[in-house]
C-alpha cells in the first residue's frame, strides 16, 4: 500500500496544483480521502474497536507497555478516538462551531484554555469528526455527539474497572459502544459520498 501511495505522490508532484487536467484527478483530494478511509476509519473500526477489544488482546490488567500510565484497553480505546478527530471539548460546542474550527473561521471556539493558541492534539477538529459536524449543523443529524458520547461512555467503563480485566458483561457493553461508533461513523462517510457524488453529477451536467 505504501508503494502505491508513494507513486501517487510522485505523480501528483509533477502536476500543477496537484490536479492532472488530462485525467481529471485531484491528487490532494484522492490522497487525503484515501487516508481517511483506508487508515483512519479502517484502523479505528476494524482494528482498535474490533479484535483489540478481545479479552486476551491488550488486557486491561496490564500497562500498555513498560512505564505507561494507562492500560492496554485504555490505549486501544484512545487510539480509536484519535482517529475520529474530535476536539476534547467538542461536546460543549455546537455543530456549527465545530465545523468552523476546521474551516479556521472560529478559532476562539477551539481555544478552550484561553492561551491564545490552538492545541492541535486536543483543541482542533479533524477528519470525519469535521464531516459529522458539517452534516449535523443542518439540524437533521446528530452524528458527532452520538459518536463522542459513545467514546466517552466506553472510556468511563474501562476506567471504572480500576486496572482489572473487564468482565464478560462489561466487555459486552463496551462492544455495544463500539457498534454505535462504527454505525454512525459509517453513516458520516455515506453522507460524504452522497454529497460529492451529487457535486460530480451537477458538474457533468454543466459540462454536457
pLDDT tens figures, 1-29: 556 667 666 766 677 778 888 888 888 88
pLDDT tens figures, 145-170: 999 999 999 999 999 999 999 999 99
Residues present in the chain in total? 208
List, in sequence order, the alpha helices (H) in 103-142: 107-110, 127-136
- Could you tell me what percentage of the chain is helix, strand and coil, using 3-state DSSP and rounding each to the nearest 5? 65, 5, 35
Amino acid at each position: 500500500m505504501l508503494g502505491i501511495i508513494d507513486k501517487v505522490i510522485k505523480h501528483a508532484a509533477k502536476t500543477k496544483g496537484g490536479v492532472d487536467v488530462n485525467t481529471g484527478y485531484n491528487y490532494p483530494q484522492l490522497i487525503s480521502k484515501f487516508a481517511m478511509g483506508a487508515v483512519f476509519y479502517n484502523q479505528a473500526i476494524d482494528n482498535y474497536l474490533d479484535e483489540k477489544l478481545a479479552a486476551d488482546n491488550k488486557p486491561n490488567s496490564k500497562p500498555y507497555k513498560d512505564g505507561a500510565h494507562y492500560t492496554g484497553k485504555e490505549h486501544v480505546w484512545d487510539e480509536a478516538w484519535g482517529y475520529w478527530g474530535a476536539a476534547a471539548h467538542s461536546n460543549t460546542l455546537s455543530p456549527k462551531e465545530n465545523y468552523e474550527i476546521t474551516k479556521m473561521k472560529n478559532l476562539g471556539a477551539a481555544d478552550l484554555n484561553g492561551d491564545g493558541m490552538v492545541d492541535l492534539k486536543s483543541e482542533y477538529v479533524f477528519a470525519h469528526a469535521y464531516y459529522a459536524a458539517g452534516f449535523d449543523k443542518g439540524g437533521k443529524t446528530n452524528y458527532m455527539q452520538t459518536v463522542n458520547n459513545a467514546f466517552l461512555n466506553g472510556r468511563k467503563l474501562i476506567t471504572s474497572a480500576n486496572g482489572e480485566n473487564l468482565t464478560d458483561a462489561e466487555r459486552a457493553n463496551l462492544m455495544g459502544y463500539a457498534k454505535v461508533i462504527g454505525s454512525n461513523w459509517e453513516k458520516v462517510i455515506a453522507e460524504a459520498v452522497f454529497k460529492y457524488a451529487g457535486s460530480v453529477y451537477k458538474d457533468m451536467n454543466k459540462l454536457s
